[in-house]
Amino acid sequence: MSSVPERSEIDSEYKWDLESIYASDDEWETAFEDVQERLSEIAAYEGRVTESPETLLELLELQEEIMREVSKVANYASLRSAEDTRDQEYQALQAKAESLSSEAQSTVSFVEPELQELSEADVESFIETEPELVDYEHYFDDVLRMKPHTRSAEVEEVLAELGEVASAPSDIFGMLSNADMTFPTVENPEGEEVEISQGNFTKLQKHPNRQFRREVYQQFYDEWGDVRNTVGTALKNSVKKDVKYANARNYETAREAALDGTNVPVEVYDNLVETVRDNLDYLHRHAELKRGALGVEELEMWDLYMSLTGDEGPEITYEEAKEYIIEAVAPLGEEYQSQLAQGLEDRWVDVYENRGKRSGAFSSGTYDTQPFIMMNYQEDISSMFTLAHELGHSLHSELAKEEQPWHYADYTIFVAEVASTVNETLLTQYLLENVEDDEFRMHVLDEYLERFRSTLYRQTMFADFEHQMHTISEEGGALTPDRLDQLYGDLKREFYAPANVDDRIAREWMRIPHFYYNYYVYQYSTGISAAVAIVERILNEGEDAAADYRDALALGGAKYPIEVLETAGVDMASPEPIESALSVYGDYLDEMAGLLDTE
């Protein structure tokens, strides 16, 4: 029987090195208690933030010292929890850390409202008196920019304290989907019993046996159907939370609030959705190519993940994936390449799926730790691309930490998804140019086409769905599971018009964790658009363009995201990068169509 191993069965070399944060849970407990006690040191500055330039600098430096330790405490607990969501000890650890984070945010909540009592002229005067404050100039600009949407210190404290409660819908969904839900076991065509999981569902949907794919698909979504009321309630309340918080901060809509946090104009969102929906013909062509390649009369939802080549594709071991990725990023410079290679040796990555492990993949870490990448590696091309993606995030963090102080080292998701997708795009280019095996090359091309489909189109569809949900809630409408099915099903039918969109796929919204992240998903689509433009520039112009890109990554959060990408030569306020990416998608579809005809 093919089954998911327990964590204890996996060799330590394939697990991330959390002992590099804290040597033991006891050490974590000590750090937790110490930093919790120190929060009162910050509270002592309440009412004194603008007392003098010297006082302001003291507070900002103290806040950094304490919040850096809070971040480490929270990160360790979160990563331990992700290892096995069934482990109640680590779930309790994470709960404590979340409470600490909420308490810390509440403690510092007075700082920005008091800073907003200053005018721009006051800030300039403070910097003249205390020159070290110049390092915070962009931070001051951002704080003053948000003045119309910042409430009194008392209200800000209440909103901060509600942070832990506000995360309840997402927490409930996470525990349900990762820990409590048990998916069926099915027999594959080879006679083996295979346990369906969140981690392997997509891989099973790539199995060459169509009847097996259909059974996996139906069993998987039937299981979701049994919890539709629970998930529907969680998502409804998550949307309501976004709307209420936006109202509390004097925004007209939740979308305006979400995008204004990073100073991204709502026009960027509208440009994306409109441009993609105006170019659905590319996606429809991809679906038709897939139907023809599979030799079926009608493309079904359990065919969507299937390769255009008609089989599962070559096995790519983790060691092979590492070698390919290291070679692929060479155009970004020797230092970038060697840093990435060293990270793979230094146990940045938690490689394989284990029972209870959080599904999906992510890159995490803090200013004072190494990066940590969670994978559920499945020995296939898709997993290799996911590893390249997460390494892009990790190297972004490393470059930003090297060049920026703590308060500018973090960066927005809007920029983050560019860094990850640049690596994917470079990997595609490298493999297409250097791998001689024609079958392997076809699978690489197919994988990249799937990345376009699932990133530019699928995530834009998600963004459209997310905006529709919030709009309904803002207008006083009811977000029942039936209404969500209807909204999602209509979008799926529009985006996948050549295929048969059945009732089960209308439930797909139930399994998407990103819908709890408040206008998050659109940034995957803008990210791939910017990434394609940046890679084209690097391949055409060489080191100068690569240096511009590295400079953009090293900016971290020292500039607003639109400005950061301008440093790399991309204007995301324009639909041009999106149109350019769609054109590349079309070119790759042409190339694949030619290969299929040749076959």
Q: Domain holding 227: CATH number?
A: 1.10.1370.20
Using alpha carbons, list the distances in angstroms from residue 107 to 29, 38, 377, 478, 550.
20, 11, 40, 36, 36
Q: Edge to edge, what strands does the sheet with 349-352 contain?
A: 349-352, 372-377, 362-364
User: Any idea what the CATH number is for the domain that residue 140 is in?
Assistant: 1.20.140.70
Is the separation of the CB atoms in 440 and 591 below 8 Å? Answer: no
Element housing 484 (H / E): helix 481-495
Using alpha carbons, list the distances in angstroms from residue 55 to 46, 80, 107, 291, 463.
11, 38, 17, 67, 44
| Same domain flag for 150 and 235 | no
| Same domain flag for 131 and 221 | no
Q: Is residue 74 part of a domain?
A: yes
Percent of the chain with pLDDT over 90: 86
Q: Is residue 80 part of a domain?
A: yes
User: Comparing C-alpha atoms, which of 266, 325, 591, 599 is closest to residue 452?
Assistant: 591
Identity of the residue numbered 157: E
Boundary residue ending a domain (166, 185, 207) = 166
User: Comparing C-alpha atoms, which of 535, 539, 317, 338 is closest to residue 423?
Assistant: 535
CA 66 – CA 178 distance, rounded (Å): 32
Is the separation of the CB atoms in 423 and 325 below 8 Å? Answer: yes
Boundary residue ending a domain (166, 200, 226) = 166
| Same domain flag for 442 and 560 | yes
| Same domain flag for 429 and 283 | yes
For residue 267, indicate whether it is catalytic.
Answer: no
Element housing 186 (H / E): strand 185-187
First to last CA, the chain: 36
Report phi then psi at 367, rounded to 5: -60, -30
Residue 363: strand pairing partners:
373
pTM over 0.85: no
- The active-site residue, picked from 98, 114, 300, 390, is 390
User: Comparing C-alpha atoms, which of 159, 43, 177, 161 is closest to residue 111?
Assistant: 43
| Same domain flag for 268 and 126 | no
Q: Is residue 352 part of a domain?
A: no
CA 220 – CA 217 distance, rounded (Å): 5
| Same domain flag for 85 and 234 | no
CA 417 – CA 473 distance, rounded (Å): 28
pLDDT of amino acid 437: 86
CA 370 – CA 356 distance, rounded (Å): 24
| Same domain flag for 448 and 582 | yes
**Which residues does 99 contact at the CB level (< 8 Å), separation at least 6?**
164
Q: Is residue 348 part of a domain?
A: no
Q: Is residue 355 part of a domain?
A: no
Residue 417: strand pairing partners:
none
Supply 149's token pair. 């949407």
Q: How many CA atoms lie within 13 A of 498 on its CB side?
A: 18
| Same domain flag for 469 and 574 | yes
DSSP state of 558: S
CA 153 – CA 384 distance, rounded (Å): 47
Number of domains into which the chain is organized: 2
- Which range marks the domain in which residue 246 is found? 217-314+411-599
Is the separation of the CB atoms in 307 and 446 below 8 Å? Answer: yes
| Same domain flag for 44 and 142 | yes
Report phi then psi at 226, rounded to 5: -70, -15
Q: How far from the centroid of its chain's Cα atoms is residue 277's Cα?
A: 23
| Same domain flag for 574 and 432 | yes
User: Comparing C-alpha atoms, which of 241, 263, 307, 578 is closest to residue 445?
Assistant: 307
CA 405 – CA 398 distance, rounded (Å): 12
Boundary residue ending a domain (107, 136, 166) = 166
Q: Is residue 297 part of a domain?
A: yes
Is the separation of the CB atoms in 10 and 340 below 8 Å? Answer: no
CA 82 – CA 405 distance, rounded (Å): 29
**Which residues does 56 contact at the CB level (< 8 Å), separation at least 6?**
49, 50, 115, 126, 130, 133
Size of the chain in residues? 599
| Dihedral of alpha carbons 193, 180, 393, 270, sign | positive
Is the separation of the CB atoms in 247 and 477 below 8 Å? Answer: no
| Full DSSP string of 140-171 | HHHHHHTGGG---HHHHHHHHHTHHHHTHHHH
pLDDT along the chain (599 residues), means of 10: 83 96 97 97 96 98 98 98 94 95 93 94 97 97 93 84 88 90 93 89 90 96 95 97 95 96 94 96 96 94 89 87 98 98 97 93 97 95 94 98 97 93 95 88 89 94 98 97 97 96 96 94 94 94 97 97 96 91 93 75
Supply 496's token pair. 């996948």
CA 342 – CA 224 distance, rounded (Å): 41
Q: Is residue 406 part of a domain?
A: no
| Same domain flag for 597 and 461 | yes
Is the separation of the CB atoms in 419 and 523 below 8 Å? Answer: no
pLDDT of amino acid 2: 55
CA 171 – CA 4 distance, rounded (Å): 24
Identity of the residue numbered 209: N
SS3 for 20?
helix
| Same domain flag for 154 and 226 | no
Q: Is residue 184 part of a domain?
A: no
Burial of 38 (0-12, 13-18, 19+ CB in 10 A): middle
CA 170 – CA 175 distance, rounded (Å): 9
